[in-house]
Amino acid sequence: MKPASAKPRTMFEKIWDAHLVRAASPDTPAILYVDLHLVHEVTSPQAFTWLREKNLKVRRPERTVATMDHSTPTTPRGRDGRIPVLDNAAATQIAALEKNCADFGIELHALGTQGQGIVHVIGPELGVTQPGSIIVCGDSHTSTHGAFGALAFGIGTSEVSHVLATQSLLQNPSKTLAVTVEGKLRPGVTAKDLVLAVIARLGIGGGTGHVIEYRGSAIRALSMEERMTVCNMSIEAGARAGMIAPDETTFAYLKGRPRAPQGAAWDAAVAAWRELPSDEGAVFDREEKLDANTLEPMITYGTNPGMGIPISSAVPEPVNPTAAKALAYMGLQAKEPLLGHKVDVVFIGSCTNSRLSDLRAAAGVMKGRKVADGVRVLVVPGSQKIKAEAEAEGLDRVFRDAGAEWREAGCSMCIAMTGDQLSPGQYAVSTSNRNFEGRQGAGGRTFLASPLTAAAAAVTGKITDARELT
């Protein structure tokens, strides 16, 4: 128990302090212990190779969970259930992960198994993502897990090798940025729209050097899946991580999950988790406020996630040559409205928006309607578990009856490593997290939006405000 006179701490500081293997010295950064290391096939092969070269074991295999997601095909399985042939490079990478997990004793949810899915989807599903934890992965959207009140951030492959070998990382502390959102999101305005508005406000470098804590009544009202959408995109504002304090919503989501504590251990865990929220009077290095009541459905028009505007707005005048270059790439003119813009492809998926509530939202718009002529629609559930749950509710039939493709779980068109990609010049409305040049395929042009906006575009063939659909 902390003495009453101790300095009030933010949630970030509490988690930091609780994980100090060694405090910082004038010459060395702090060493932090990692509770959970998530691993996937793209950023791990070299790390395992370095461990082998140095004859090192994985220190805590039991704190390591691996899956395959970035380069795995999402092509629907035939009746024989066979997984389509991967290209050689992807096959090599996947075989490397299989061998590495087998040799080092790491739990692997492999392609073709029921536990496979996008790494930031399966962690929470399993209940391994827990409040107060430090969670890392060789992937910048690791920030997703901050929705549980964890300190979760992306690392590079060198740091992956550090965590594999020592379950620890050298870290310098981040500054803290409180983003407070009060009020209530209006109907048709989603968590995705909220976070796009935050990034538009902060700018894509605005959070650099900071960890964001999302606070306020509009945040408290979000479900866990909505909180994951918000925390997921924290990196797009340049922030190291994004966090939301745990509360009854968090505990209700976690209770009974396969790897959540049980019985007396559960009660003890919840008691500890209740101490995590930032103390009254804790000081943040920076503060920003948004009013949820004023938010609209958002869409990006440019080539970074910060270039987002309300869907009814017109493309802004470029303020510098970089912005002008973005408009040229997107084939857009300043002052042009976005509503009504032609769309070639709609992608509903990614670690941002591929959970059951996202699929239900999209299905709600597409039910009884048909995909517009000339539009290709891919719906990619975030995990095999979500796929099964969606099918049990008949969501797959809604998508297929409309003329959309119902796919296997994976990162798919968010990162375009598997053949799920745009052709040069194609326009896509995508529920993913990045609209960089060529992100979804060389020459592809991405509009980022919510599942509602994406589903509306699917059935009209143009950028559409879903609230206007009759």
Partner 1 sequence: MEKVTQITSRTVVLPVENVDTDQIIPARFLKATSKVGLGSKLFADWRFAADGAPKADFVLNQPAAAGAAVLVAGDNFGCGSSREHAPWALYDYGFRAIISTSIADIFRNNSLKNGLIPIVVDAATHAKLLAAPGAEVKVSVADQTLTLADGTTAKFPIDPFARYCLLNGVDELEFLVSQEAAIAAFEAKR
Per CB under 8 A, residues contacting partner 1 are: 20-22, 26-29, 31, 33, 42-43, 45-46, 49-50, 54, 56, 59, 70-71, 87, 89-90, 92-93, 96, 138-140, 154-159, 161-162, 165-170, 172, 174, 204-205, 208-209, 235-236, 238, 240, 304, 320-322, 325, 415-417, 424, 434, 436-439, 442-443
Identify which of residues 207 and 310 has a Cβ nearer to partner 1 in the complex.
207
Q: Specify the residue, 209 or 403, whose C-beta has the smaller distance to partner 1.
A: 209
Rounded to a whole number of angstroms, the minimum distance from the CB of residue 406 to partner 1 is 24
Q: Token pair of 31, please?
A: 């060493």
Least CB distance from residue 134 to partner 1, whole Å? Answer: 12
> To which residue do tokens 């968010």 refer?
414
- In the bound complex, what is the minimum distance in angstroms from residue 191's beta carbon to partner 1? 21
CB 23, min distance to partner 1, A:
10
Asked if residues 338 and 311 have their Cβ atoms less than 8 Å apart, the reply is yes
> Residue for token digits 């699917």?
458
For residue 432, the surrounding DSSP H or E stretch is: none
Nearer to partner 1, 10 or 71 (CB): 71
One-letter identity of residue 6 = A
3-class secondary structure per residue, 275-327: CCCCCCCCCCCEEEEEEHHHCCCEEECCCCCCCEEECCCECCCCCCHHHHHHH
Least distance in Å: CB of 168 to partner 1? 6
d(C-alpha 137, C-alpha 160), whole Å: 7
Question: Among residues 324 and 388, whose Cβ is nearest to partner 1?
Answer: 324
- Closest contact distance (angstroms) between CB of 54 and partner 1 is 7
Judged by beta carbon, residue 155 or residue 356, the one nearer partner 1 is 155
| Mode of pairing for the β-strands spanning 64-67 and 36-39 | parallel
Nearer to partner 1, 212 or 458 (CB): 212
CA distance 199 to 448: 12
Annotate 169-205 with DSSP letters as a single string.
Answer: EEEPPPEEEEEEEES-PPTT--HHHHHHHHHHHH-TT
